Every structure is written in structure tokens, then in C-alpha cells.
Chains A and B, each alone.
Chain A
């Protein structure tokens, strides 16, 4: 089983719908992150959480919200989806104690029509 699991892997939906992307991890890491990846723009940080009670905005948080339900679970919501939110979304985790590399899930491909 993957250490960082994202669901769903693919989603097609319509403008205005509420969407939730879920991430769960078995690595025991405290820190979790949500990114979106667009061609030519690279990875852009949406939100991150350094522990269950900590939520921080990233570079592009407008139009998104998150919930850290437990150490192992971090979900990303699009309250009212719009077409320019069509992208590849990645969840990542990292350990605490200094600078640690991030471990990524395999992404959710989201298309908003």
C-alpha cells in the first residue's frame, strides 16, 4: 500500500460544484501539504499543516479550504469549483525535526467543465 494515498485519482465535475479531495498517510508524519501543479507553473503550495491544530495558507489559497481531521488525514475542498482550478493536485507529508524531505502521493487529476 502507498504511504500517501489520495482519493479520488481522477475527477471530472461542473462549475459551481463543491469538491473534496482527500489525503491519508501511514508514514506517521506530523506535517502535511496540498499543492497544485500546472504546466509551466510548477508546484504551487495551497495550504499546509504542521500538526493537527495548525493550518497555514500557502501561495494560492483563494478559493480553497482545508481540514486536518487527524494526524493522518488532510482534506482539500473547493467550495465552488471554477474552470481555472482544473489541475493536478498533490498531497505531501514530511517529518518534523529540522528540514525533512516531502513525500508525495500520486495526485488527483481534477477537471472542471
Chain B
């Protein structure tokens, strides 16, 4: 079993839909959770950064962590065509002495 599992998609939704992107993980030592967005021909860019369990909201984006289920989610409200990208989850243990562990990414298309 990989440390981090992420459905690769592709996921196609109409403009204005609520999008839910998810990752599961197996390492209970993970405490820090991130979501990256990657546009075509660009490097991944940090979108959300959360610590431990709970929710964090930033505009149309909400990151949710459920450590008891080892499950993290990214919700996008009122999705826009400009949200079309690949979304990667990443996580790390508290020590920070090892590199981030990334999911494989989910490709999202928002259709106008």
C-alpha cells in the first residue's frame, strides 16, 4: 500500500459545481497536510496548508482533515474554468526532517 493514495481522475464538472478532491494515507505520524495546484506546463503551487485535524477555509477553497479516518479533502465551491488543473495532496510528519510525501494528483476540468 502506498503511503498516500489519490484518485487520478480525470474529474469533469460543470461551472459552478462544488468539487470534492480527496486523499487517504496510511502513516499515522502525518500531522501537516497541504494541497497544491498545478496548471499545465507549470510547477505545483501551494494552495492550502493545514495542521492536524479540522477545517481551513480560504475564499472558495476549504481543506478538511480527518486524522481518525486518515482522510483529507479539498472542497472547491462555485468552481470556475480557471480551476481546471491537477491537484496534488502532500503531507509530512511533525519532525520536518523528511521530504513531503505527495499523492499522484487528480486532474480536474471545469466546463463552462
List A residues at the B interface (Cβ < 8 Å): 4, 33, 40-43, 45, 48, 58, 90, 92, 97-107
State A97–B32 Cα separation when bound (angstroms).
Answer: 14
Number of B interface residues at 8 Å Cβ cutoff, please give it: 25
Chain A residue nearest to B42 (CB atoms) is: A106
Question: Contact between A104 and B8 (Cβ–Cβ < 8 Å)?
Answer: no
Residue with the highest number of chain B CB atoms closer than 10 Å, among A33, A101, A104, A105: A101
Q: How many pairs of residues, A versus B, come closer than 8 Å at their CB atoms?
A: 53
B46–A101 contact, CB under 8 A? Answer: yes
Instruction: List 27 A-B pairs, Cβ < 8 Å.
Output: A33-B99, A40-B104, A41-B104, A42-B6, A42-B88, A42-B105, A43-B44, A43-B88, A43-B102, A48-B99, A58-B99, A92-B43, A99-B31, A99-B32, A99-B93, A99-B95, A101-B34, A101-B46, A101-B90, A101-B100, A102-B46, A104-B43, A104-B44, A104-B45, A107-B41, A107-B42, A107-B43
Query: B residues bordering A, Cβ < 8 Å?
Result: 6, 8, 31-32, 34, 41-46, 49, 88, 90, 92-96, 99-100, 102-105
